[in-house]
């Protein structure tokens, strides 16, 4: 049996969906706590639209998403797994917000993701105060996406991509020629939900959203139907 292999962040992992494990004796999952301190359920949700696509296609589902991660993390995870992907597999990548950024901590021998919603460390405060910019965000994420697309095409692997951040293709500001060239390179490979990201599309339709801004079960099921009805690979 072929595999559907999913990469992404909490929206692909399925944070706050009804089958998320309950930790620390809480009656409700607290994904902010889970994402910030690394206490995650031991398996991804089976209720995400990516999982429902796998079930619909009768494919094994392998999810390598990581809540709270960056596009750098998604790219490294893909590169770690790419040699295991077969030509009859399907890869789904849901790219995350472009203002998340990774740096390598040599003291702890690990990559750390910095996010504007997190000020729990001095690195985040410094980065978002003095170094981060929309131009840098676009440059870093567009390079990642372009490289992954190139590798997928080179290996003749079928893929489907979305992005939660429409800034990735925005050319209103901070888009010199080199950015526009990369945007043009990935334009046809990023799929949207009626022109919107999954989150904004869910909000527009008043689907339930968690306090942590995660679309819930209904939204994922409707997203599954939206994709199933509009793409050849789901036939």
Phi, then psi, of 163 in degrees rounded to 5: -145, 140
Cα(204)–Cα(195) distance, rounded to whole angstroms? 12
What is the arithmetic mean of pLDDT over 70-96? 97
- pLDDT of 22 over the 60 cut: no
Q: Report, as an integer, the average pLDDT of 65-81.
A: 97
Asked whether the predicted pLDDT for residue 159 surpasses 90, the reply is yes
Rounded CA separation 63/46 (Å): 10
pLDDT at 125 over 60: yes
3 forms bridges with which residues in the sheet?
60
For position 12, what pLDDT does the model report? 98
Q: How far is CA 230 from CA 120, 194, 203, 227, 233, in A?
A: 42, 11, 21, 5, 9
> Can you give the pLDDT at residue 1?
82
The Cα 11–Cα 206 span in angstroms is 17
> What is the pLDDT confidence band of residue 21, given thresholds at 50, 70 and 90?
low
Kindly tell me the burial class for residue 28, based on how many C-beta atoms sit within 10 Å of its own C-beta (0-12, 13-18, 19 or more): exposed
Q: Using N-to-C axis directions, what is the helix angle for 71-81 and 134-154, rounded to 10°?
A: 20
How many Cα atoms within 13 Å fall on the side-chain side of residue 80? 9
> Token pair for residue 165?
């951040």
At residue 24 the predicted structure's pLDDT band, cuts being 50, 70 and 90, is very low
Is it the case that residue 95 has pLDDT exceeding 50? yes
Least confident of 12-21, 70-79, 180-189: 12-21
CA distance linking residue 28 with residue 201, whole number of Å: 25
pLDDT surpasses 70 at 30: no
- What is the dihedral sign for C-alpha 186, 190, 195, 199? negative
In what helix (H) or strand (E) does residue 114 lie, and over which residues does it extend?
strand 110-114
Number of DSSP helices (H) and strands (E) in the chain, helices first? 9, 7
Query: What's the pLDDT at 123?
Result: 87
Q: Which domains does the chain have, with CATH numbers?
A: 3-234 (3.40.50.1110)
């Amino acid at each position: 049996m072929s595999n559907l292999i999913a990469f992404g962040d909490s929206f692909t992992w399925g944070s706050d969906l009804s089958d998320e494990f309950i930790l620390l004796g809480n009656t409700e999952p607290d994904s902010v706590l889970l994402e910030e301190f690394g206490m995650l359920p031991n398996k991804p949700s089976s209720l995400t639209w990516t999982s429902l696509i796998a079930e619909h296609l009768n494919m094994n589902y392998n999810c390598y998403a990581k809540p709270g991660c960056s596009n750098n993390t998604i790219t490294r995870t893909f590169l770690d797994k790419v040699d295991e992907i077969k030509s009859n597999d399907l890869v789904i990548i849901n790219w995350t917000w472009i203002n998340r950024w990774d740096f390598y901590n040599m003291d702890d021998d690990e990559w750390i993701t910095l996010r504007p919603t997190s000020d729990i460390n001095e690195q985040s405060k410094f980065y978002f105060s003095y170094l981060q910019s929309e131009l840098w965000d676009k440059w870093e994420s567009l390079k990642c996406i372009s490289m992954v697309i190139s590798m997928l095409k080179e290996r003749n692997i079928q893929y489907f991509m979305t992005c939660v951040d429409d800034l990735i293709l925005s050319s209103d500001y901070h888009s010199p020629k080199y950015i526009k060239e990369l945007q043009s390179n990935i334009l046809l490979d990023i799929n949207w939900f009626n022109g919107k990201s999954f989150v904004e599309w869910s909000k527009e339709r008043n689907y339930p959203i968690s306090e942590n801004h995660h679309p819930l079960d209904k939204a994922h099921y409707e997203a599954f139907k939206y994709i199933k009805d509009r793409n050849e690979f789901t036939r």
